Amino acid sequence: MNTNDLIEDLARGLEPSAPLSRPGRRAAAWLLGAAVYLSLIVVGISVFKVRAPGAGAGLWVSQIAAVVMGLLASRAAFVSVVPGLPKGSRVWAVLAALVWLGTLVAASPPDFDWAAVLGASHEWVCVGFIIVGGAPLMWVLAAMLRRGAPLSPATTAAFAALAVGALANVGACLSLPHANSAVTFAWHGGVVVALVLVAALTGRLVFGWSRRSPPTASGAT
Amino acid sequence: MTDATSPIDSLGELMRAAQQGDGASYLELLRTITPRIRQVIRRQRGFAGIAEVEDLVQDVLLSVHTVRATYDPARPFVPWVLAIVRYRLVDGARRYARIARREIHVDEEDVTFSEPATNDDIGEPEDAAALQAAVRALPEGQRQAIELLKLKELSLKEAAEVSGTSVGALKVATHRAMATLRRTLGKRRE
């Protein structure tokens, strides 16, 4: 088919295609759903297991940092599927991730034992929580992102995983007890980094052009 | 990608109308941006032949069409479309590198068979006439593909230049033509 024929074909079969909402608004919609979902899980676990997480200023500071990271990472993911938008949001998301890790390090006891931290086998529950609990969040986020342009699938997937990991980490921290922030830093930080790496490596399978959903006239989010 | 005849705003206006389903505006928009896209691709891929450039142009147009919902009418159109061009060029380069890594060039060699029965292409004179008739009966695009690639033995690139179609389209047309010929001649033999 020559290019002129292609142009005519595309124009002939044109259907209305409502513009997507702005990335910030889409990120906010996803975050709202994620917050409701995680709240239900946290409350559910608290009711059935009645195990309060270790409280303290450090815990809350790192949770706030994680929520901000989730917000900025999800926004960066949504921005990455819109052609022509500036890439500054990626820098902010990475900075937020570093701040989150920094808050965990800062709240860690000065004399913690790395061997004990890495040997904290009960943290596998948190790993499971972040991965299994985060899966529905990732599924919804991926479905929303696939309505955009798959310009750089690895980047999109990495920021999506960072956002999901951040929020699932908050859920795990609020519903399961943790010995100290060093344990959270090593285990939660490790899982989130692993999720980001796996997502970056497999992003093309989910967000490649061949996986792109056709545009529809309905729905703007 | 801007000049006096197509200011940024008018492209944005056309895209906005296209998002509402206005085919005429969309046609005008695509016709306006295609030469500019071609120009950008030629500048970026100076080594590419005509057919490869057209393949990339068509890739970009299909991408623009697929993700047209991501255009925000409140933002300028040109950065949006240029970002798509840029990313599709990178994808094209990656694809080319991937294919080049996997493909091994093999010289064509004559194949002979010891048993006459296996030399199916040694047919009767009427087979040639039937083949000609079957080729003539093919749809225009398929017939042209067969004539250029199989009868005149042009390369895909040369055939694409002669016919003004893309390499991909030629491959599809040839594949379909071969299937039709196989069916037509198979029926005749039965």
Q: Which residues of A touch B66 (CB under 8 A)?
A: 149, 209, 212, 214-215
- Asked whether the beta carbons of residue A19 and residue B164 sit closer than 8 angstroms, the reply is no
Find tokens 């986020």 and name the residue.
A141
Give the model confidence (pLDDT) of B99-143 as tens digits: 777 777 666 666 666 666 665 555 555 677 888 888 888 888 888
Strand partners, B6: B3
Q: How far apart are the first and last CA of chain B?
A: 60
- Tokens 């917050």 correspond to what residue? A35
The answer to whether B62 faces chain A, any CB pair under 8 Å, is yes
Question: Model confidence over B18-76: pLDDT tens digits?
Answer: 999 998 999 999 999 999 999 999 888 877 778 888 888 998 999 999 899 999 999 99
Euclidean distance between CA atoms B44 and B63, whole angstroms = 18
Residues 104-163 of B with CB under 8 A from A: none
CA of B98 vs chain A CAs: smallest distance (Å): 14
Exposure on the CB side of residue A5, measured as CA atoms within 13 A: 8
Instruction: Please tell me which of the candidates B54, B65, B79 has its beta carbon nearest to residue A3.
Output: B54
Which residue in A3, A17, A22 is closest to B68 by CB distance? Answer: A17
Give whole-number Cα distances, A87 to A83, A97, B109, in Å. 10, 16, 53
- Scanning B67-106 for CB atoms below 8 A from A yields 67-73, 75-76, 79-84, 87, 91
Beta-carbon contacts below 8 Å between A and B:
104
| pLDDT tens digits, B12-23 | 999 999 999 998
